[in-house]
Structure 1
Amino acid sequence: MTPFTVRAPASSANLGPGFDSLGLSVPLYTTLRVTPQGHTEVVPMGAGLDGTPHNESNYVYKAMLLAAKRAGQPLPHARIEIESDVPLARGLGSSAAALVAGIVAGNELLGNPLTPEAVLDVAAREEGHPDNVAPALFGGIVVATLDKLGTHYVRLDPPAHLAVTVLIPDFELSTSKARAVLPKEYSRADAVHALSHAALLAAALSVGRLDLLRHAMQDYIHQIWRAPLVPGLSDILEEAHKHGALGAALSGAGPTVLCFHDTREDTARLHTYLHSVMAKNGLTGTVLDLPIDVVGTVIERH
């Protein structure tokens, strides 16, 4: 088998009310270079992966083993070089990108016994939810569910002129900590609010109703509980639309905040506002305009 490269994009999940079920991919990537050989080597590369294991306990290699387990075959030996420009623990699906890249690489190394749907199911069951792994695998915007029968999804091409602005603060927030603050029970009113707004958001994205995004992205399930962990989040959710955003949401578990914007409009005003919120709260970070990645995970043979 010849060497090959696997590249999986970052992702932003939830988008407000689509908790654990809705996400999109963005062009920041985890890249694996896989060279079949007689023994296994795991080689994380770059400052972003400092401290990650250089052996078979690495998360990417464990993901490759998941593909082998589902296929019922032993994983062939290879040298796996890992690079990533997805910031860790920032709410941009760094673990999902690593997981999907690893499963896809393992499947490729095995001769592709798993279908894309099986790859998605393996990834979603490992993560516990499909909202990051589905867009990382398929690109675009994905609505997905996970149940006993499988992982089910609908992929949407992003509406014309829709892109994202992300505010990535210079501090980490673990998913486990962000989940720990969520209540164990919700009222019927909150459940109805979540269902109606998630449905409206999916429908608005599917038909390109950009004017509805600000209203559809309201959420009472997770964002209000996580707001104390992300200084300035409440202000952005309430005010970003006044500064050029089509809508705003906490990206995944945070602390990154995502704003939709119209590519026909200048984002300078939105950038200025987001930087001012960081300054007001004593934070530093990066503001980026990004298109929505529509390709998902790709494999290139050398």
Structure 2
Amino acid sequence: MRIQVPATTANLGPGFDSCGLALSLYLTLDVLEEATEWHVAHDLGEGIPTDATNVIVETALSIAPDLTPHRLQMACDIPAARGLGSSSAAVVAGIELANALANLELTPERKVEIAAEIEGHPDNVAPAVLGNFVVGAKLDGEDFYVRHLFPDCALLAFIPQEALLTSESRGVLPNELAYKEAVKASSIANVMIAALLQNDLELAGKMMERDLWHENYRAKLVPHLAPLRALTKEHGAYAACLSGAGPTILIFAPQEKADDLLSVMKDFDTTASVLSLKVENDGSVTTR
């Protein structure tokens, strides 16, 4: 059995803790034979546990404590601590593992509910389960979300070598915003989402770059955001924004501008990884 979960980018600028998009990078988990204890084989480094303390196994056991241990083979091209949903992908993989081994027959809605409860909000986990573009909210323990097809465009990721933990990136955010500032921030997000639903990426891009919820505060942790935003704008991009908590920058652009943008992004920092991605439509998938 194989479980595949996509990477995700959250926020899209002003859609803070609410908007998410599934991307074409993947965590892949092959479920092999039964064993006396859990073992997760991978080549992702010593920081990722290979036993029952692995997040995938911990998540599965939190849902179905009596699961029979198995040997698992994990591969992942989602870079950790880069704002591309690696932890959410592991949580969703654990939910899929429990669902398959315990024959729980969880609905996609129930998978999102469990994952959002673990992660605290649905912005990464909802698109990881459902695919494509999801706008969601967790209110008083209840999940509300809408899935929609994202407009066609080039998606380019600028991934620095340096990691940035979500806890560190959240630590620079204010505890509160002035009422007028919050209203303005909300209006920007509303226009951005409305523009996306009408396939108007030019207007959506303008709003993506005017976020007031988080990017101004995180900018000191991601010094490449402002110059890369200016550079990609010069070469025809719709927008550049933090992917999740950063430090990855996601660039939205017309398809015909992709090759030129990839070249200038690589020249901007030769140590960074620059990837051309696609929207993943299907979300998490389990095949036997």
Q: TM-score range by the shorter chain?
A: over 0.9
Deviation at 1:130, TM superposition (A): 0.8
Aligned partners of 2:154 and 2:177: how far apart in 1?
A: 32
In the alignment, which residue of structure 1 is the partner of 2:144?
152
Q: What per-residue deviation string (whole Å, max 9, x for no partner) do you get for residues 206-257 of structure 1?
A: 1211121222212121111111111221223345322121111100011100
In the alignment, which residue of structure 2 is the partner of 1:23?
20
Aligned partners of 1:20 and 1:51: how far apart in 2?
A: 27
In 1, are the aligned partners of 2:237 and 2:257 still within 8 Å (CA)?
no
Q: What per-residue deviation string (whole Å, max 9, x for no partner) do you get for residues 2-45 of structure 1?
A: xx110000010000001110010111111111135253322231
- Is 1:289 the counterpart of 2:276 in the alignment? yes
Give ranges in structure 2 of 5+ residues lacking alignment. none
Aligned partners of 1:139 and 1:37: how far apart in 2?
A: 30
Aligned counterpart for 1:268 among listed residues 259, 264, 269: 259
Name the amino acid aligned to 1:13. A
Deviation at 1:75, TM superposition (A): 2.3
In 2, are the aligned partners of 1:214 and 1:241 still within 8 Å (CA)?
no
In the alignment, which residue of structure 2 is the partner of 1:227?
219
Select between 186-195 and 285-294 the one with higher mean Cα deviation.
Answer: 186-195
In the alignment, which residue of structure 2 is the partner of 1:259?
251
Q: What per-residue deviation string (whole Å, max 9, x for no partner) do you get for residues 139-197 of structure 1?
A: 101101112242121111122x3231110011100000000011111122321222112
In 1, are the aligned partners of 2:18 and 2:136 still within 8 Å (CA)?
yes
Give ranges in structure 1 of 5+ residues lacking alignment. none
SS at match of 2:68: coil
In the alignment, which residue of structure 2 is the partner of 1:34?
31
- Is 1:125 the counterpart of 2:131 in the alignment? no
In the alignment, which residue of structure 2 is the partner of 1:9?
6
Deviation at 1:124, TM superposition (A): 0.8
Aligned partners of 2:245 and 2:47: how far apart in 1?
A: 22
Aligned counterpart for 2:42 among listed residues 34, 41, 45: 45
Aligned counterpart for 1:65 among listed residues 61, 75, 83: 61
- Is 1:192 the counterpart of 2:187 in the alignment? no
Aligned partners of 2:262 and 2:188: how far apart in 1?
A: 27
Name the amino acid aligned to 2:215. Q
In the alignment, which residue of structure 2 is the partner of 1:140?
132
In 2, are the aligned partners of 1:76 and 1:110 still within 8 Å (CA)?
no
SS at match of 1:64: helix
In the alignment, which residue of structure 1 is the partner of 2:106?
114
Length-normalised TM-score, structure 1: 0.90
Aligned partners of 1:50 and 1:168: how far apart in 2?
A: 21
Select between 186-195 and 125-134 the one with higher mean Cα deviation.
Answer: 186-195
Aligned partners of 2:266 and 2:213: how far apart in 1?
A: 27
- Is 1:94 the counterpart of 2:86 in the alignment? yes
Deviation at 1:276, TM superposition (A): 4.4
Deviation at 1:104, TM superposition (A): 1.1
Name the amino acid aligned to 2:60. M
In 2, are the aligned partners of 1:6 and 1:101 still within 8 Å (CA)?
yes
In 2, are the aligned partners of 1:25 and 1:296 still within 8 Å (CA)?
yes
Q: Percent identity?
A: 41
In 2, are the aligned partners of 1:90 and 1:172 still within 8 Å (CA)?
yes
- Is 1:213 the counterpart of 2:209 in the alignment? no
Length-normalised TM-score, structure 2: 0.94
Rate the CA distance shift 1:189–1:57 in 2: closer, same or farther, 3 A. Answer: same
In the alignment, which residue of structure 2 is the partner of 1:298?
285
Give the alignment's Cα RMSD to 1 decimal. 1.7
In 2, are the aligned partners of 1:250 and 1:257 still within 8 Å (CA)?
yes
Deviation at 1:63, TM superposition (A): 1.3
Deviation at 1:119, TM superposition (A): 1.1
In the alignment, which residue of structure 2 is the partner of 1:246?
238
